[in-house]
Structures are given as C-alpha cells and as structure tokens.
Structure 1
C-alpha cells in the first residue's frame, strides 16, 4: 500500500479529528478566485470535505476528485446539503478532464501526494485562461506546548526507527512552501494563517492516527508510541496540550497562452 492510500482506512477518524481550515483563509480564497454561483471549481483530494463545504457556501459548482472510496463516501455524506457539489472517486493522474474548463483548481494539504510530473501541467490544462490554481499547505511549527513536543521526541526515537535524532519543530518564520514548480505558470501570491488548537490526550492521539507515517507504523511500534505520548500528556501536561499549525494559501493564475 502506498502511503497516500493509508488515509482511506481511517476515513471516519479523519473526518472526526482533522480540523477545518481557518475562516480567514477560506474567505481570502473565495475573494481571490472571485467565487460565486457562476464559478466552476475542481478540488483535488478533498478528504472528507474539510475545505469543500466552506467553498460551497459561495454557491459555486464543485467537482471534488478523491482517491479513497471511503473518504469520498464520508465527503458525500457531509456535503449532501450542497447539491452543486459532486464527489468522484479516482486519482487525479488518471481522471479525464472535462471539455469545459474550471475557474479554480484547488488542493488542500493533498497536492504533494499527486505525481510531480503531472500535477501542475494537468491542473493548468483544467483551468480556463486567467483561472486560478490554489494550494493550501499545512506546516507543524513551534509554539503551543513546546515542552511537550520536545519531550515527545524521546517517544518517537524509541518507537519509530525512522525518526531523526534531535528532531525539533521549527519556527514559522523559518517555514515556507517551495513554490518553484508553480512559478512556471506565473507570479505566485501567498499568505500565511497561523493558529493553535488545544487537545486532550485522546483527541491528540486521534489526530496522530490520521497521519500517514503513524498509520503505516508496525502495530507494536504504533501502540508503544501512542502509549508513550498518552502517558507524557497525562503525567507531565495535566492531560492537555496545544499544537500550533501554519497554513499557507498559495495561488497562481493560468496565463492566457500555454506555458507548459
């Protein structure tokens, strides 16, 4: 199984534990892409609809292409109140582009799973001239319960052999998405949206079990890691921690003339 396929086996947990995106970010995306009832949107890797519902509030028509059938089923359930949202199962690499182009192609915390040889060029072909390609990226950065994340490194080094020794979260000022592949389309615009979310031990472990690296761990190692982290939260942090996320909204317009 590929790492990008691990999420589908945890679809209900993914829906329960993964946070939606900051309202300021989604509002900015709607404004940048000038979304409204006449807009056509293609979303790549919607998961269970963490971004989709916020975009659908603009009244636009959305086609969401999700690789995982279980994730897609939950997304359809969550988005049933939006009749102009259609969730299709398939990988973007193989999905046939319709004849009518889109005004926006968007992917939230999923674009990096698409084949690099395909993702930008095919996204550009899916857009009308002047249409917008938008990515939302998520970074785990220093902040919140910093002492916990430093101590948690010991749990990872004990139970996950792939963990680099001394790994630490970096400051958001030192964090940025590499946008060079998008720059072949044109000038890139980006904005940053940081936030902190509090978790109980159970809630935090739930989130961890939606990440591909944790899902792919051998069962004994995974159970040992989660037990170690739970004990750390309960005994050293009074049962609750805070995690800081940095989301970037990155957009680029498809030029009138093909450049790819």
Structure 2
C-alpha cells in the first residue's frame, strides 16, 4: 500500500499531514520513506505512544489536537493521509479542511478497512457468531451477513461533490489475520459498540464467543479483510 502511495506521486521528502495517527502504526512506514510528517492525534495517551514509536525520526512531529480545531500551518502539505480515521472526522469539515491543508495538485489519501467474507473465516462461523450477537446485543440487525470485496462499492462522491478534488483512484488489498480466542476478545474490546454495552451483556456476549471459538474452532479463527487506499488530487 505504501509503495502504491509513493508511485502515485508522493516523492521522498514530501510534506505529509496525517490525520488520526493513533500510536503511529501507519506513520512509521511513512517516516521510513523519508517523508516530513506532522501527525495530528486527538488522544493524549495514543499521541504519547506515537511519539515514542517515532522517536528515531527527526522529520516527524506528533501534535495532540482535534483535527477540526487544529490551526493549519502557513506552509501547505503535499499529502493529507488518514488511515482508518477519516470517517471519525466531522463530515462538515473533513473534506474542505483537507483541501485547505494541501497545495494545489496535492493528494488526499485515505485508508479504509472492511471485514469481508471469504478465506478461512467460514460462513458457518459467522452465522453462529451472529446468533451470539442477536442474543446479547438487541441492536444487532437480524440475519446480518458479511459482504464480499466485490460487493463493497468504490465511493468518492463526498470528495468530487465538494468541487475541491478530482475523481479518486482506488487500490485494494485482501489479506487474512489469525486470532487466538484471547486475541480476538481483545480486538472486540477495541470496538466502541462492544465497549458501550452494559457490563453484564458484554461479559455474556464475550463468553459465548469464546466458547464458540474454543469448542468448535480449536481456539483460533482467521478473519479476512479488505484494505482500500483512496487517492484524490486537489483541483481547487
């Protein structure tokens, strides 16, 4: 993915603004390519971890701030980059402020990740786990099923309708990741929907999922993901 970003015209020493860097997981490979990066992160604790993870890179600055409120510097950026964070930014400002941050001809590159059908995550497992959710989380839509990668539409309407960006180019990558029972429960606890459940419901849900993985799947599952890189050029 980072090679494709570079091939799209992001040269070494490019000036990059990253929105929502988290702990710096995507920032490190950007920094390794020699980019000059300002990374804006809302979470104080995550920003502190990012600074530790990026301490070896003199050309990286991590700023603790909400992107919506952060004053843009006078020098424009060559790239605005956001990995699985752009959708959290206020839709009223995220496109226009990204354009304002860029030089004319600069690139807005956003990354989204989807859990998809296929691979070794079996249809049977997903059906069974949905029964757990329908039992313990009443907000779960009944009969929910995973989409395939081809079912997920490439969408740049928000960008083109703003008049600030041209049509986007899309790059897609399908990959799989194994999880032990404990690893998978840790993952679920990072999702806001799970964290928002009342304690009793959340414990019951996680216990039922753990039993399903341990008993029927030998203590390990494999999820299939689609990662999509969307790149659009500022035209106005």
- Give CA deviations for 1:198-225 in whole Å, capped at 9, x if unaligned: 1110111111111121122221111111
2:81 pairs with one of 96, 103, 106 = 106
CA contact (8 A) 2:114 2:227 kept: yes
Matched with 2:224 is: 244
- Give CA deviations for 1:58-79 in whole Å, capped at 9, x if unaligned: 1111111111111111111111
Normalised by the size of structure 2, how large is the TM-score?
Answer: 0.95
Matched with 1:27 is: 3
Compute the displacement of 1:145 (Å).
1.8
Compute the displacement of 1:35 (Å).
3.0
2:93 pairs with one of 94, 118, 131 = 118
1:133 pairs with one of 100, 108, 119 = 108
Pair 1:36-2:16 in alignment: no
Instruction: Write the distance in 1 (CA, Å) between the matches of 2:115 and 2:28.
Output: 24
Instruction: Write the distance in 1 (CA, Å) between the matches of 2:63 and 2:137.
Output: 35
Matched with 2:129 is: 152
Matched with 2:66 is: 91
Compute the displacement of 1:49 (Å).
1.2
CA contact (8 A) 1:102 1:128 kept: yes
Compute the displacement of 1:114 (Å).
0.6
Instruction: Write the distance in 1 (CA, Å) between the matches of 2:190 and 2:198.
Output: 15
Tell me the SS of whatever aligns to 1:77. Answer: helix
**CA, structure 1 residues 75+244, in 2 after alignment: closer, same or farther (shift >3 Å)?**
same
Matched with 1:186 is: 166
CA contact (8 A) 1:155 1:228 kept: yes
CA contact (8 A) 2:10 2:79 kept: no
Matched with 2:199 is: 219
CA contact (8 A) 1:30 1:55 kept: no
Tell me the SS of whatever aligns to 2:185. Answer: helix
Aligned residues: 231
For structure 1, the 5+ residue unaligned runs are 1-24
CA contact (8 A) 1:44 1:64 kept: yes
Pair 1:79-2:54 in alignment: yes
CA contact (8 A) 1:33 1:104 kept: no
Instruction: Write the distance in 1 (CA, Å) between the matches of 2:210 and 2:148.
Output: 25
- Give CA deviations for 1:163-193 in whole Å, capped at 9, x if unaligned: 0011111111101353201123112100110
Normalised by the size of structure 1, how large is the TM-score?
Answer: 0.86
Instruction: Write the distance in 1 (CA, Å) between the matches of 2:146 and 2:11.
Output: 36
1:168 pairs with one of 145, 151, 162 = 145
Instruction: Write the distance in 2 (CA, Å) between the matches of 1:177 and 1:228.
Output: 35
Q: What is the aligned-residue RMSD (CA, Å)?
A: 1.1
Instruction: Write the distance in 1 (CA, Å) between the matches of 2:226 and 2:26.
Output: 16
- Give CA deviations for 1:49-108 in whole Å, capped at 9, x if unaligned: 121111111111111111111111111111112121111111111000000000000111
Moved more, 245-254 or 184-193: 184-193
